[in-house]
Structure 1
Amino acid sequence: MKSFIWNMKVLLFLLPIIVLGQTPKKEYAKLSYDELHDLYFANEKDKIVQQQCAQAYLAKANKENIPIQKAKANYQFALLYYDKDVSKAIMYLDSVIKYSQNTGHKFFPAAAYCEKADLLQRQFKFKEALNNYNLAEKIALKTNIDYYYVVRGYIAITKSEDLGDFKEALDIYKECYRYYKSKDVRNPKLGRDYLTVIFGIADCYKSLHNKDSTTYYNKLGYRESYITKNEEYKYLFVLNEGANQVEGKNYKVGLDSISKALPKMIKYDNVSNVLAGYFYLGKVYEGLGKKAIAAENFIKVDSIYKVTKEISTEFIDGYPYLISYYKNLGDKENQLKYITAYMTIDSTLQKNYRELNKLVHKEYDIPRLISDKEALIESLGKDKIKTYWGFGVLFLITIGMGGFGIYQYKLKKRYRSRFEKIINETTGKEGNGIEENKDKEIKIAVTKIEDIGIAEELVNQILEKLDDFENKKEYLESNITVQMLSTTFVTNTKYVSKIVNVYKGKTFTQYINDLRVEYAITQLQENKMLRKYTIQALALEFGFNNAESFSAAFYKKTGIKPTYFIKELDNVT
């Protein structure tokens, strides 16, 4: 999982940026170094102003022949080209290094070496990047011990996230951790660096499959984030622990954590960890046997990758899943699509020194993928030929349509009967139906308390709490689970599950879904505005996570689809 704080520009360690409101128009040449610096960083969205500031800064530095000011001017130019021309950015950083060498400055040239290393990493030149980080740490060790440990953190991230050297990265993170423990880590200056190191340790332990140590450091990081009021980091630790639980096949606990953290990653536009969230949701639903939902989340991972063009070996397992998923569905086009995507990623990562072999060979090897890809292309070509033959049997199909029409007529009649039954049952419940149900439940309670081996008093307490749960319509919470309900009832999951099975005559999931569907039926009859909602919107309204799960539960309960029910309601009201 990606750590994001180390990628912040080194400018955070330089002079504080004074945000200027409406800066008066002055002659740039008349401004001081500090004024030019502040004006440059106050206009990050106006590249023309930044260009003019950098030019004025460099002209002033050249005129006064001050090496460190020449270095700072070149650094400003480097930032201008950072995201659009890597070669030019590196050229300016080399000038920063040249002018600031042996000046004893607190950040230069160490920071320039770090920026250069970051740009080399983007080009997958990891050996050269590490060489620049090593030069940075040697200088920082003499000039700025705090920044020295920041550089050590950069090196740890490169080794863990780019090179897969988790043990070596862990040693470096722990070295940084020991340093920060001797400092005031709740000071804003060091607080984020300390949290980043804790996250790095937790993430390395996760990659090394040390579940208990991962949990320990995730909890430590969560506590520190809470104390220092760093919400983004707090939920980053929640997400990482969710991933840790998924790796340990504790899917329901993992799902709970990821579901809480993912919206926060989206809120903070933390793209790399949004990708991580969707990937581990895919793993959760794969583990729970919910194949379609797993595929949906792995597809979201692919969508993010297509935009960012960045993915690590940690998150590529979704592609073999998608290939198998569409193969089993007989969907050749999507199977071919994800084989092609998977092979492209493999080619990129192999070429750029990332160790993908062990992951690829777990389910597919490249020669097999090539063979499958060629076979699919050939098969799709044959399918097109078969399309022309299809016209030859069109006459037979036309005849068959007559029989199909009869079948549809009978089906509509059956659906209409089911619709009328729902309406009648709903109307009946407004009278004596509720009391009859209560009497029935009491009779069941008398006869079955001894059968299930739970004390009568406890059974009655839980049944009362279930009544309260139903009356307050708490089943409309989308993330309700038997674990959550048991915690609310101050009892254990086995008791709640068993009582629902026996006294409600259904599984816990079916019980929740039936309550939601019954509520949906009532609301759709009473509120005409709801009928204008999309099925997806209705699903969320009634506590379901998506349209598919709502439609399936509605059909299972009533024998008709919600779209048909709404259509018929509109016809009769």
Structure 2
Amino acid sequence: MTTKSYDELTKAYKSALNSNREMALEYSKAAYVVAQKEKDTFNIVYALYNLADVKSYLSKNVEALDDLAKAIEIAKQLNDTNVLYDLYNLKGIIATDMGEYLEALDAYIISKEYAILANNELSKTAASINIGFIKKLNHDYEESISIFKENLEIIDQMDLDSVKKNHNKRFLYINLSDAYLRMKELGAVEDDYIKEATYYNDLGLQISSKTKNTGQYYGFLINKAIIHFEKNEYEKSIKLATEIKEHALNTKDTVSLGTMYYYIGKNYHSQGKHEKAIENLEKFYEIIQKSQKKYSNEYQLHFLLALSYSEVGMRKKFYFHLNEHNRLQDEKEKESIKVVSDIHTKYDLPSMKDELEKIEKEYEKQEIRKKWLYGISGFLIIVLIGVFFFYKLKVKRIQKRVEAVLQKVVALENEQEAQKQEKDKTIATSSVSEKVTDEKAALLLEKLAEFEKQEEYLSVDCSLTFVAEKLASNTSYVSNVINNYKHKTFKVYITELRINTALIRLKNDEKLRSYTIKAIAEEFGFKRQETFSKAFKAQTGIYPSQYLKKLREDLEID
């Protein structure tokens, strides 16, 4: 190892990180020694970064933070914003593992500032995702899910190579699945959260490789084992959890190991096998006691141990774990309230201090600086007052959009009525032919008109291939005709037909209005509720729920 170069040692470290972390630690130590000998400041910083990273995996978080503190001091001399982003981002990750959520929040906010300075969109997105991760750990599940989904769309639109894009998407899929599984704590409908958790977990597994993306691959398997448990498929859950446990033992991944001991124990408890449950749950408790990480489900572990010891008649153990559960639950509830509050103060809301500093710098050379500051103070007061009226203004804007949509629906209905009143269908057909000189295109447009009349676009299987087969043509030609004569892409063409049909039918069909958004989406050819809502909003400026609310209100008035 002493004869290897810094680059060789770093490459070996990365290769060993997911398979043999003790060896990865040795490679990172050796790389640090080489970097110091060569007096290469940049390499010294990243050797310390790698040391901190692998130590965090080995539950040596205090040492990891010490290494990062050294790296940050050196990196500030380099004045490299990308390097400083990486260091503060890792600091946030380690602080999160230790349960130091407020310290993690501060680190993520600083990392985002460096990402902004570096004009690095991916890093800014990562900082936002990490804030969502903290929210998830502190029970703000709906907000964290919203953040994860928003950033999933952003990453999809980024011009990234497939490796980097899929890495980030896997991280989001894991957390979305996990957040939906945790929704049970808030009393979510079981079928809903399991379905969503399974959907995102399956998406992640589809783009994961056991050999190339080992850590994330096993993260998805952990979620899958939990999903089996939630479906009462206890034997499947135990079998998969045991497989993951063996991998965690080989790689010294104490986090995954503890989680699997917990769920194996939880499965046995649900089966009434309390001795086996205690055996596995105690192994998890032993990991917690030796670890510098903070496990978000420790209070739940004590509750399960209390129940299991009660079943086998060990009253002393029962009371110990019950008291620990109550103590930790109280601490967690208080801490979560504090963390969520600080996130809103420090991250969600605009920083008034930053705004004042910016304005102060802008006018510091002017003689009327004090007057400006007084004016800004007044402006901030007005802004604070304006917050109270924001909701009402927002409602008014939505109402105007809804009214505009209703006017559009009336226009669509009038257009349809006019078409129905045409006495001779051939007249309409000939009008198409007269406008289109290409006979083949004219014929296809006539077929498209019949396709629209029969509302075949409402089929969930309505793809370009589906339409081409219906029209006895090929996909390329159908796409070209729609582009040239309808002046829109095939996707936009089908979506507009579906949304316009939905607008009219919802207005006139009381029974349809009683359906769930999901059922309505399927009625008009959309496989997923989210896709329907997004398309509806893009075309009309409002969400389906807002349109339905207005229609129901009008019905009550009538």
- The TM-score, its normalising length taken from structure 2, stands at 0.47
- Which protein is bigger by CA-based radius of gyration? 1
- The TM-score, its normalising length taken from structure 1, stands at 0.46
